[in-house]
Chains A and B, each alone.
Chain A
């Protein structure tokens, strides 16, 4: 393992491919297409028709996850080929599968299987319209107060920065929360185009079903240090990873705290290994952390 201070960060999925970093990286297209064709054969033949601008499947929740996973795995291989190794790896939300691929814990095929089983298990367990949203400008106490006072079936499910939060819950209540948050002084509020309330207690039943379905999948001990976004522990053994994969679905995350823990371990140079730079933008609010563009790492 290298003694560098890089963290490789794997995002969940993107909402835009316009400026995806892979387009400037030599060899990316070949790697990505290899993974995409493999994913199409293994999961969904329609994936073979993917195109960044003309047929991006951005409105298809599951395909977008497969594509982002394939994208991240291609970048992982290119980083390794360039002799770049992380001090710590983190998977943001559903980016955990790519982080585990990068760490050598799961194969590409197992990663696809995990994505499919998680989506199927969660989807089957939900019988109401759900959604997610982002709020910027309020603190946790303010948001919690709005939720409680209006009796909204919503939870805070991630903190991205001191005043930037993700929320999950019933879709009807989500719209109400966005309106109330604006009245309370949120600088920005937006519903996300997802139908699964990731990282909320509403997914516990689905997560338990997922746990039963992944028991036979091959998961190895990671070759690099992978950190949990839930409580920032190290995911060191296959058993811990299995537990993490399940609780990652229905426990709140704290990305802000995770960045702080990595910084405390002197890991300050981050590389976002995915199709957008959304996490890099959020990191502007954590002193001492610097995101490096992939094009600078893989010239």
Chain B
């Protein structure tokens, strides 16, 4: 279990913003925490999956995708800010993410 430092929080935010600016071909200045991933950026689940893979490599995470999927069913992500919060939880709890439900 990793503790989320200010450095990690900033890295995650920066990575998510840059990723969507690049993938969706929009100016990064147009993205904020309230930006809707689907409605404003035309994002999709493959992008979500790719982002998870990026963080898995970057932080050497031990987490199965289906654990994230089960968590996401109960905690759907709609905005960039919500996505960042979920990524931080994934980094912090890895395969124990579902323990948060208990």
Contacts and interface: CB of A to CB of B under 8 A. Distances in A.
Given A182-B73, A187-B72, A285-B53, A136 B46 contact: yes
Contacts of A282: 46
Interface in B50-91: 50, 53, 64-70, 72-73
Contacts of B44: 188, 281
A230 to B, nearest CB: 24
Nearest to A281: B46
Nearest to B52: A187
A163 B46 CA distance: 10
B49 interface: yes
Interface in A161-185: 163-164, 182-185
Contact of A188 (B45, B50, B53, B66): B45
A187 B48 contact: yes
Contact of B49 (A137, A183, A184): A137
B46 A284 contact: yes
A58 interface: no
Interface residues of A, number: 18
A12 interface: no
B13 to A, nearest CB: 21
Interface in A21-71: none
Interface string A126-141: 0000000000111100
Contacts of B69: 137-138, 182, 184-187
Contacts of A138: 65-66, 69
Contact of A136 (B49, B53, B73): B49
Contacts, number: 53
Contacts of A188: 44-46
B46 to A, nearest CB: 5
Contact of B65 (A137, A182, A183, A281): A137
B50 A285 contact: yes
Contacts of A284: 46, 50
A292 to B, nearest CB: 16
Contacts of B67: 185
Nearest to A188: B45
Contacts of A231: none
A127 to B, nearest CB: 34
A17 to B, nearest CB: 15
Interface of B: 44-46, 48-50, 53, 64-70, 72-73
24 contacts: A137-B45, A137-B65, A137-B66, A137-B68, A138-B65, A138-B66, A138-B69, A142-B66, A163-B49, A182-B73, A183-B70, A183-B73, A184-B70, A185-B65, A185-B68, A185-B70, A186-B69, A187-B45, A187-B49, A187-B68, A188-B45, A188-B46, A281-B46, A285-B49
| Pairs A-B, 7 closest by C-beta atoms | A185-B66, A185-B69, A188-B45, A185-B70, A137-B69, A137-B65, A187-B69
Given A137-B66, A184-B66, A187-B69, 7 more contacts: A136-B46, A138-B65, A182-B73, A185-B66, A185-B68, A185-B70, A187-B68
